[in-house]
């Protein structure tokens, strides 16, 4: 009987008392809760720091994507503006709202990508306006607030086109362009004159995604072709005022004017007036021409010079009128962007 009693006590201890002690002593937590509570045996210090870093970087990225710092050179002030609202103001200022919706979408993505590239590149402020990485003038991208749009374009424009601008931006919200995993700097211009230009010929930087491409369907652009007419005397006097060593007059005009180099797109890269070599961009600036894609003809009998210019702007990147022409013929914003920006990824 004594043995039986001792045996019964041992069974009682093993089956009831000991499990109760174990349950009371240890706290069992589901595995998904362990990580959330920072359980040291499950989550090493290095792993915790990595998770904290991810959390911090996500917060930084979220903040930078939502707002941009914009410098106003007219008032010398800086504003914090929601990114997508900023993009709407850029699209409204930079591209005619009458354009096809797919062209406006392409412009929205280009404007957004350009803004984010500037925010990354000049996080401490642009060298030309150190208060912010972006400005609202054409130095960066033109931007108009709703109040400015009402003042500049009028209430009828707001009623007729603002919904279209919002649709173009909202339907492409957050979409950017990348080249080899990095945000690109997507330059754009009004009208190329039939072919865009390599970046290296304008900015002396061989950017792989800014290569010259055919730009069809631009003939409707108001500045596709422009003729500037001046007298021979006006032309010669203006040249000599900037290049006094150039010995040119009405009698030796064709002898002294020589084309040295054109780019692959047909733009004038260099020409010589007498022994003075001049960049095409300098002559463009001197005579306030729309682009460097120009020809000069001189009628000595009438003493009249015609400078015929094709396109409007530097010619690098997306042609806005070309984008509209492509869109009107069925191209999507993806087709447009991948045509003008070589080998880029859109996501």
Q: CA triplet 332, 335, 336: central angle to 5 degrees?
A: 90
The answer to whether residues 71 and 118 belong to one domain is yes
Q: Which domain holds residue 83?
A: 67-189+317-346
pLDDT of residue 80: 95
Does residue 17 surpass a pLDDT of 50? no
Is residue 52 included in any domain, yes or no?
Answer: no
Query: How would you class 273 by CB atoms within 10 Å of its CB: exposed for 0-12, middle for 13-18, buried for 19 or more?
Result: buried
* Domain identity same for 100 and 243: no
Residue 148 CB-density burial (10 A; 0-12 exposed, 13-18 middle, 19+ buried): middle
At residue 241, the pLDDT reads 95
- 240 in a structural domain: yes
> Is 178 found in the same domain as 326?
yes
Same domain for 158 and 75: yes
Please state the rounded mean pLDDT for residues 224-229. 97
164 and 101, same domain (yes or no): yes
> In terms of domains, do 182 and 281 share one?
no
The per-residue pLDDT for 302 is 96
| 2-11, 236-245, 255-264, 279-288, range with the lowest pLDDT | 2-11
Query: Does residue 277 sit in helix, strand or coil?
Result: strand
Q: What would the pLDDT profile of 45-74 be if each residue is shown by its tens digit?
A: 444 444 444 333 333 344 445 899 999 999
Does residue 280 register a pLDDT over 60? yes
* pLDDT per residue as tens digits for the range 79-138: 999 999 999 999 999 999 999 999 999 999 999 999 999 999 999 999 999 999 999 999
Q: Are residues 321 and 305 part of one domain?
A: no
| Any domain includes 234 | yes
User: Considering the chain, what percentage of its residues have pLDDT values greater than 70?
Assistant: 81
pLDDT at position 180 is 97
Asked if residue 42 has pLDDT above 80, the reply is no
In the chain, the percentage of residues whose pLDDT exceeds 90 is 80
Same domain, 239 and 166: no
Element at 231 (helix H, strand E): strand 225-231
Q: Evaluate whether residue 136 is within a structural domain.
A: yes
Residue 183 CA to residue 114 CA, distance in Å, equals 8
Q: Are residues 326 and 287 in the same domain?
A: no
Which pLDDT band holds residue 285 (cuts at 50, 70, 90)? very high
Q: Is residue 206 part of a domain?
A: no
Q: How far is CA 107 from CA 99, 202, 335, 337, in A?
A: 10, 22, 13, 9
Q: Is 60 exposed, middle or buried (0-12, 13-18, 19+ CB in 10 A)?
A: exposed
Residues 230 and 167 occupy one common structural domain: no
* CA 315/CA 338 separation, integer angstroms: 16
Question: What average pLDDT does range 4-17 have in this prediction?
Answer: 47
What's the mean per-residue pLDDT of the chain? 86
What pLDDT is stored for residue 149 in this prediction?
A: 97
Sheet holding 67-72, edge to edge: 77-82, 67-72, 134-135
Within a domain: 85: yes
State mean pLDDT over 278-301: 95
Output the pLDDT for position 39: 29
- For the segment 290-313, what is each residue's pLDDT rounded down to a tens digit? 999 999 999 999 999 999 999 999
- Between 297 and 40, the more confident residue is 297
CA–CA dist 322, 194 (Å, integer): 8
How confident is the model at residue 163, as a pLDDT? 98
Which of 55, 114, 21, 96 is CA-nearest to residue 324?
Answer: 96
Least confident interval from 24-38, 85-99, 105-119, 211-225:
24-38
Count of structural domains within the chain: 2
| pLDDT for the residue numbered 204 | 86
Looking at residue 14, its pLDDT comes to 46
For residue 66, what pLDDT is reported? 81
Residue 97: count other Cβ atoms within 10 Å of its Cβ: 16
pLDDT for the residue numbered 265: 93
Asked whether residue 215 carries a pLDDT value surpassing 60, the answer given is: yes
- CA 126 – CA 123 distance, rounded (Å): 8
Same domain? 306 vs 323:
no
**Residue 57 CA to its chain's centroid (Å):** 23
Q: Residue 11 — very low, low, confident or very high, per pLDDT cuts 50/70/90?
A: very low
Tell me whether residue 8 is in a domain: no
Query: Is 71 in the same domain as 143?
Result: yes
Does residue 296 form part of some domain? yes
pLDDT at residue 19, rounded to an integer? 44
State mean pLDDT over 276-291: 96
What's the average model confidence in pLDDT over 268-288?
95
pLDDT at 25 over 80: no
Strand order in the sheet with 182-183: 182-183, 177-179, 345-346
């Amino acid at each position: 009987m004594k043995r039986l009693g001792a045996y019964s006590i041992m069974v009682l201890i093993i089956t009831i008392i000991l499990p109760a002690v174990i349950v009371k002593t240890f706290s069992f937590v589901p595995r998904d809760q362990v990580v959330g509570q920072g359980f040291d045996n499950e989550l090493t210090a290095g792993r915790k720091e990595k998770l904290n870093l991810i959390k911090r970087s996500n917060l930084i990225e979220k903040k930078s994507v939502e707002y941009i710092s914009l410098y106003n050179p007219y008032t010398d002030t800086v504003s914090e503006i929601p990114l997508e609202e900023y993009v709407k103001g850029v699209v409204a200022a930079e591209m005619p709202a009458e354009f096809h919706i797919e062209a406006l979408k392409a412009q929205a993505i280009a404007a957004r990508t350009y803004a984010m590239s500037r925010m990354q590149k000049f996080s401490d402020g642009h060298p030309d306006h150190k208060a912010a990485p972006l400005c609202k003038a054409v130095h960066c991208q033109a931007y108009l607030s709703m109040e400015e749009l009402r003042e500049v374009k009028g209430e009828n424009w707001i009623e007729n086109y603002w919904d279209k601008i919002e649709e173009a931006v909202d339907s492409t919200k957050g979409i950017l362009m990348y080249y080899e995993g990095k945000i690109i700097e997507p330059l754009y211009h009004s009208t190329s004159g039939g072919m865009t230009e390599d970046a290296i010929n304008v900015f002396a930087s061989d950017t792989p995604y800014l290569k010259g491409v055919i730009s069809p369907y631009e003939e409707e652009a108001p500045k596709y072709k422009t003729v500037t007419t001046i007298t021979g005397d006006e032309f010669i006097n203006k040249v000599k005022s900037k290049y006094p060593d150039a010995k040119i007059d009405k009698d030796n005009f064709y002898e002294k004017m020589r084309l040295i180099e054109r780019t692959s797109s047909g733009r004038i890269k260099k020409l010589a007036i007498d022994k003075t070599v001049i960049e095409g961009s300098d002559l463009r600036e001197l005579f306030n021409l729309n682009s460097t894609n120009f020809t000069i003809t001189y009628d000595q009998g009438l003493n009249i010079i015609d400078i015929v210019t094709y396109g409007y702007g530097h010619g690098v990147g997306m042609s806005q009128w070309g984008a509209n022409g492509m869109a009107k013929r069925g191209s999507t914003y993806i087709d447009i962007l991948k045509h003008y920006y070589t080998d880029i990824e859109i996501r």
